[in-house]
Amino acid sequence: MATIKELSRKPELLTGGHRLCAGCGASVAVRQVLLGANDQVIGGIATGCLEVSTTPYPFSAWKIPFIHNAFENAAATISGVESAYNALKRKGKIEKEMKFVAFGGDGGTYDIGLQSLSGAMERGHNMVYVCYDNGAYMNTGIQRSSSTPFGASTTTSPAGKVRPGKPQQRKDLAQIMAAHNIPYVAQASISHWKDLVKKAEKAFSVEGPAFLNIMAPCPRGWRTPNEITIEIAKISVQTGYWPLYEVEDGEWKLNFKPKALKPITDFLKPQGRFRHLFKPGNEHLLETFQVEIDKNWSRLKKRCGVE
Amino acid sequence: MAKTATKQKIVAMTGNAGCAFAMKQINPDVVAAYPITPQTTIVEEFANYVANGVVDTEYVNVESEHSAMSACIGASAAGARVMTSTSSQGLALMWEELSIASALRLPIVMQTVNRALSGPINIHCDHSDSMGARDMGWIHLFAETAQEAYDNTIMAIKIAEHKNVRLPVMSMHDGFITSHAIDRFEVLDDADVKKFVGDYKPKHSLLYDPNEPVTFGPFAMPAFYYEQRKQLRVALDGSKDIVMKVTDDFAKLSGRQYGLFEEYRLDDADVAVVVLGSTAGTARYTIDAMRAQGVKVGMLKLRVFRPFPAAELAEALGKIKAVGVMDRSDTAGSLGGPVYTEIKAALYNSKLRPAIQGYVYGLGGRDTGPDQIETVVNDLVKVVKGEESPREAVTLLGVKE
Amino acid sequence: MKWNIKDAEHWGWKKYPEGALILEGGNAAYYKTGGWRTDKPAWDEEKCTQCLICWISCPDSSIIVKDEKWDSFDYDHCKGCGICAKVCPADAISMHPEGGEE
């Protein structure tokens, strides 16, 4: 894999001048993922923060051929682009090597986009799907998604007098993708750039579908100061909220193996969306959260053959 | 059979098989489709061509119609020639994508096999599916027979891809009636179809010029959206001339001359019926019978519904005394079916205009025999004689009381 | 600017490319978001170890690296989020109020 210095020589494929919030994790995710590509990349995206902020007519921050279609169909749309590439290459109309990537937030991926993603992965298209996961429908005003953590206050699962935020545990999409038996699935974080770029490289180089789930915190939705976006992503990894692992041809491998996980409260305390969990009387909710994290961590370790 | 310079072959095929055959001859780059009755045999026949290496189309078995149109949009934006097909609920499921396809100005050709919209769920013919999508910025062509379905499919490619059009085209034929009945018709030679449709290479695409990257489908604030819609209207309205040019070019090749609509015994008619699709066959039969009894009746069969040929229709129907517009779909809550209300609007300011009555028939595949058409004609005759005033409200023919 | 979009807001309908296509991918670079800042980053050359972690962590591609070496901030686009200052392992970046004396 290239060193960071070598990576710095690559052209910036996402320019500045986009309208994402100061401190947004999504654009960091995009920049790091695209550093893993070595051929011509063609990109697509689901409606969401990243899309509206990078393509406000007549401006586009994408220095690659790019398409936005609708909210739930980034995967289907890029599968169509990849199909066209196959056809045109076969007919001798295109010669260049090209790679295809679809971006979607957790909204357009876990929920409304799940069918389209599953279909594209199942059909075996040679493409990468990248989910930038900030844990809610941020663009429309921080509404809950199936990726929103337990207990988080969102505008459609607010913390109130009788309900303390989202009652459900979040969905494990990387596992679902691994169950599609595609060549490569990985979970990565913008805080661990080396691991992320390496995974992106693998994703772009495999023959067939690859799925990357990227931790991309949102200062607005998480109620955190702009400057700690990378920091809080790091803590999400260290507390086991966002384990770094990959599934390569069905082999599960844990990439980050701390001796002990930091307590989940390290992740929750800095975020305003969990403030209510720290009120007296809500200790049991913090416990529930920690129990679920520990359970998932054990299960993941076992699956990866780690003690 | 008309005499032409080109070699043609007589075949016996269903309408769907004819469409699949046309697709085979066109050999599109990408077909992304999802099966739904009564379109299924199109995608199945085409799958056979793919499996046997007869075409080199990239055939994508998507997991829903929404993904079908999504993949078609991706493929077309990529620079490929794209075709697909659907019906009814499938068309309804891809509704948001229809609007995006035309807004992005992508020349996708979709064979829509007309089937009733749910509910209740019904797999038989009516026009509610494609009529329900009439605002989506697509060109709409209607076929009466397998011959027309085959011919329209080929013409659709040239119309859609024309540099002054660049709009998606929906080409309709009736579910089960045309799609599944074996008909006898002529097909062109492979080489002639290939030559007619030519090569496709768009000016802007995702794949052809990656060093000059473009972005499709931006986010547009109010300052920018409206002008796009004006462009769409201008293109769709203006496509009428190109539809006719392509139709005329096709006539030179095939010997079959189509128009924006077909007039049958309309010249000296006092009364007339307007129909779309296979009902025209029944109408012709009924008209001949009634003419033999001295009723001066004619028919106008609309082929091009979008862009709506208002001026031409006003001219053709102006001198008729009473017209019965027969819609195979209803727009509940409005005066009647879509063709009725649009024809009425087209004639509103004309100096010469007939009395117009709206009829809905054949919903959910309800059989429409000569008796129903006779009813319409007799109604119109009464109006002409002054025995009845023209009805404002639509009449639903064939409903069991 | 390959595609001249100055005054695009005032164009007549015929001037917009068909299908709302954006003809020059990457032209967002002409849009300056530097005005969003309330805090401005400053770089201490002495302390910098050239690890380039700031570069790879910037949401706005606003750290310029030339020849594998830290070069400058792109103040036209830097939104002053402060991520670079926070992630720098050598404390070589500090944030200062925009337009303030310090």
Distance CA(B128)–CA(B58), nearest Å, equals 31
User: Mutate which of B164, B227, B239 to disrupt the C interface (most C C-beta within 10 Å)?
Assistant: B227
pTM more than 0.95? yes
Q: Is the ipTM of this complex over 0.90?
A: yes
Above 80 in pLDDT, residue B110? yes
Angle at B9 between CA B4 and CA B12, to 5 degrees: 135
Give CA–CA dist C86/B129, Å, rounded: 57
Going by C-alpha positions, the residue among B324, B300, B322 that lies closest to residue B313 is B300
Q: Note the pLDDT tens digit of each residue in B47-58.
A: 999 999 999 999
Let me know if A55 is exposed, middle or buried by CB neighbors in 10 A (0-12, 13-18, 19+).
Answer: buried
Structure tokens at A89: 């290459």
Measured distance CA(B224)–CA(B141) in Å, rounded: 31
Query: pLDDT confidence of B264, banded at 50, 70, 90?
Result: very high
Cβ(A86)–Cβ(A50) under 8 Å? no
pLDDT recorded at residue B234: 98
pLDDT (mean) for A264-291: 98
Question: Residue A87 is nearest to which of B57, B72, B96, comparing CB atoms?
Answer: B57
Residue A10 touches partner C, C-beta closer than 8 Å: no
Residue A250 pLDDT greater than 60, yes or no: yes
pLDDT at B3: 56
Answer yes or no: do B215 and C18 touch at CB < 8 A: no
Which residues of chain A make contact with C76, given a CB cutoff of 8 A?
16-17
Q: Which residue of A has its CA nearest to C85?
A: A227
Q: Residue B131 in contact with residue B338, Cβ under 8 Å?
A: yes
B67, B83, B100, B194, best to mutate vs chain A, most A CBs in 10 Å: B67
* CA dihedral (B199, B205, B210, B212) positive or negative: positive
Contact A44, A64 (CB under 8 A): no
Contact list in C for residue A55 (CB cut-off 8 A) is: 22
Task: Answer for the pair B94, B83: CB distance below 8 angstroms, yes or no.
Answer: no
Name the residue in chain C with its Cα closest to that of B163. C18
| Interface with A, mutate which of C4, C18, C22 (most A CBs under 10 A) | C22
- A115 interfacial to chain C (CB closer than 8 Å): no
pLDDT band at B4 (very low <50, low <70, confident <90, very high): low
| Burial class (CB within 10 angstroms; exposed 0-12, middle 13-18, buried 19+) of B109 | buried
User: Which pLDDT score, from 0 to 100, does residue C101 have?
Assistant: 59
Under 8 Å between Cβ of B366 and B398: yes
Residue C100: pLDDT band by 50, 70, 90 thresholds?
low
Q: Per residue in A15-72, pLDDT tens?
A: 999 999 999 999 999 999 999 999 999 999 999 999 999 999 999 999 999 999 999 9
Backbone angles phi, psi at A226, to 5 degrees: -50, -40
Q: Look at residue B1 and tell me whether its pLDDT is greater than 60.
A: no
Q: Are B100 and A91 inside 8 Å of each other by CB? A: no
Q: Name chain A contacts of B205, Cβ cutoff 8 Å.
A: 65
Find the residue in A nearest to C69 (Cα).
A5
| Cα–Cα distance, B388 to B372 (Å, whole number) | 18
C58-87 residues touching A, CB cutoff 8 A: 58-62, 65, 68, 74, 76-83, 85-87
Name which of B106, B220, B223 is nearest C20 (Cβ-Cβ). B220
CB contact under 8 A, A12 and C61: yes
Q: Which chains touch B (3 or more CB pairs under 8 A)?
A: A, C
How near does any CA of chain C get to the CA of B202, in Å? Answer: 12
How far apart CA C39 and CA C80 sit, in angstroms, is 5
**Chain A residues touching B107 at Cβ < 8 A:** none
pLDDT for residue A13: 98
Average pLDDT over residues B315-335: 97
Q: Which residues pair with A137 in a beta bridge?
A: A143
Is the pLDDT at B2 greater than 90? The verdict is no
- Does residue B385 surpass a pLDDT of 60? yes
Q: Find the residue in A nearest to B219 (Cα).
A: A56
Q: Which residue from B124, B82, B87 is spatially nearest to B101, judged by alpha carbons?
A: B82
Q: Which of C81, C84, C94, C98 to probe by mutation at the A interface, max A CB count within 10 Å?
A: C81
* C-beta of residue B183 within 8 angstroms of C-beta of residue B146: yes
Query: Between the CA of residue A268 and those of A272, B46, B91, B128, what are the distances in Å?
Result: 8, 55, 46, 53
Closest by Cβ to A58, choosing from C8, C83, C95: C8
Provide the number of CB pairs (under 8 Å) joining chain A to chain C: 131
Q: Quick check: B84 and B112 in contact, CB under 8 A?
A: no
pLDDT in tens, C10-66: 999 999 999 999 999 999 999 999 999 999 999 999 999 999 999 999 999 999 999
Residue of B nearest to C24 (CA): B214
Enumerate residues 6+ apart whose C-beta is below 8 A from A279. none
Q: How do beta strands C93-97 and C39-43 pair?
A: antiparallel
Strands B8-14 and B182-188: antiparallel
Give the length of chain C.
102
Find the CB nearest A59 among C27, C56, C65: C27
Identify the CA nearest to A178 among candidates A73, A72, A304, A32: A304
Q: Give the model confidence (pLDDT) of B207-235 as tens digits.
A: 999 999 999 999 999 999 999 999 999 99
Model confidence over A220-242: pLDDT tens digits? 999 999 999 999 999 999 999 99
Instruction: Indicate if the pLDDT at residue B111 is higher than 90.
Output: yes
Q: Do B221 and A57 touch (CB under 8 A)?
A: yes
